[in-house]
Amino acid sequence: MNKKLYFIDNKTLNPHFNLALEEYLLTMKKTDFLMLWQNDNTVVIGINQNAYEEINPEFIAKNKTTVVRRTTGGGAVYHDLGNINFSFITALDESGGFTINDFTKPVIAALYKMGVKAEANGRNDITINNQKISGNAQRIYKNRILHHGTLLFKPDIANMSAALNVDKRKFESKSTKSVQSRVVSVSDYVNTDISHFKAELIKNLAEYFSLTKYSLTADDLKSVNELKNKYSNPQWTFRAAQPMNFHSSKRFDGGTLEINLKVEDEFITSCRINGDFMAVSDISPLENALTGTKFSPFEIRNKIAGLPLKNILGSITADEFMECIEK
Could you tell me which residues come within 8 angstroms of residue 51 by beta carbon, excluding any fewer than 6 positions away? 45, 67, 69, 237, 238, 239
Burial of 87 by CB count in 10 Å (0-12 exposed, 13-18 middle, 19+ buried)? Answer: buried
Beta strand 144-152 pairing with 83-91: antiparallel
The model's pLDDT over 264-321, given as tens digits with 9 standing for 90+, comes to 999 999 999 999 999 999 999 999 999 999 999 999 999 999 999 999 999 999 999 9
If DSSP codes are grouped into helix, strand and coil, which group holds residue 243?
Answer: coil
Cα dist from 311 to 19, 73, 317, whole Å: 21, 10, 11
Positive or negative: CA dihedral 124, 80, 229, 257: positive
Sequence-separated (6 or more) residues with CB below 8 Å from residue 63: 41, 159, 163
Residue 94 pLDDT more than 70?
no
- Regarding predicted confidence, which is higher, 70 or 103? 70
* Higher-confidence position of 181 and 225: 225
Sheet holding 119-121, edge to edge: 119-121, 125-128, 131-141, 144-152, 83-91, 33-37, 4-9, 210-213
Which among 73, 63, 106 is positioned nearest to 211, based on CA atoms? 106
pLDDT of residue 97: 54
Reported confidence tier of residue 123, pLDDT bands at 50, 70, 90: confident
SS3 300: helix
This prediction has a pTM of 0.91
297-305 vs 318-325: helix crossing angle, rounded to 10: 150
Question: Which tens digits make up the pLDDT trace of 201-257?
Answer: 999 999 999 999 999 999 999 999 999 999 999 999 998 767 899 999 999 999 999
DSSP β-ladder status, 210-213 and 144-152: unpaired
What pLDDT sits at residue 100? 66
Check residue 171 and give its pLDDT: 42
- Residue 101 pLDDT > 90: no
Taking only Cα atoms into account, the Rg of the chain, rounded to an integer number of angstroms, comes to 20
- Delineate the domains of the chain, giving CATH numbers in brackets: 4-238 (3.30.930.10), 246-325 (3.30.390.50)
Of the CA atoms within 13 Å of residue 57, those in its CB half-sphere come to 4
Whole-angstrom distance, CA of residue 121 vs CA of residue 128: 9
Give yes or no for residue 96 having a pLDDT over 70: no
Alpha helices in the chain (DSSP H): 15-27, 51-54, 57-62, 100-112, 157-163, 179-182, 194-208, 218-232, 234-238, 284-290, 297-305, 309-313, 318-325
Distinct helix (H) and strand (E) counts, the chain = 13, 14
Per-residue pLDDT, averaged over 23-41, amounts to 97
Question: What is the pLDDT, as a whole number, of residue 312?
Answer: 97
**What was the pLDDT predicted at 93?**
75
